[in-house]
Amino acid sequence: MPPFQFRIASALRRARTIGEDRGIRVSLAGVHFAGRLTVDEAAVWELLLRALGQEPIRQYFERDECCEGCVQNSLPDLRQIESLIRLTKTSLGPEVTPVSAVLLRALLGGFGEFRNYLRGFIADTVRNTPWGDGNREEYLQAFHRQRGHLAHVLQQVTELLDHAVSFEPLLLHNTEWRQEAYVLAGEVEEGLFTTRERNNPRRGRRTT
């Protein structure tokens, strides 16, 4: 199987319709946009970050899978994190600001992509490819990319909250997006941002 990559076209398309002229500037896989959370939305997102910062879930963000044992520890944590994000979506309700909608799509869409990849990888390994160093490295890489994606999106949430909540586990990761972890062909127009911006997107900042 090819290496795991996120396909979050719908979130990227929605992000590009928002613009980056008003509010706090954030980014998703190199696409910049801006906005502000409502007071109620900010409270819900804060609750999510606080929950993710509690033991034992925060251990997921501190882990670096290197073997099957690590993977088995991560899987229940990922299920709980996804459950918390779905609860966040429910708590936010059907009417949300565009920035909240984009970040929710990116988070939940990422879980769906990751789950589908694992199913396909395991099925392919059982049918065709003996378990060995090559596909073990690919398998572990998928877990690393999932964690990086979560950290990247959650960092945008902390920017929108103006760092009102300190989510220390994120400090352990480089939360800038990694181009190789995303399928961008056909989703982001060529020339939308420079090579430098592709590899080092600017951190969120306030704009007028």
pLDDT in tens, 59-98: 888 888 888 788 888 899 999 999 999 999 999 999 999 9
| 94 part of a folded domain | yes
| 151 part of a folded domain | yes
| 116 part of a folded domain | yes
Mean pLDDT of 123-139: 66
| Domain that includes residue 23, residue range | 9-207
pLDDT at site 84: 96
pLDDT at site 68: 78
| 1 part of a folded domain | no
The string over 156-166, giving b where at least 16 C-beta atoms fall within 10 Å of a residue's C-beta and e elsewhere, is: bbbbbbeeebe
For residue 133, pLDDT over 60 is answered with: no
| 92 part of a folded domain | yes
**pLDDT tens-digit map of 21-45:** 889 999 888 889 999 999 999 999 9
pTM for the full model?
Answer: 0.81
pLDDT at site 134: 61
| Tally of domains in the chain | 1
| 95 part of a folded domain | yes
| 2 part of a folded domain | no
Residues 6 or more apart whose CB falls under 8 angstroms from that of 99 comprise 18, 23, 26, 33, 34, 35, 36, 37, 160
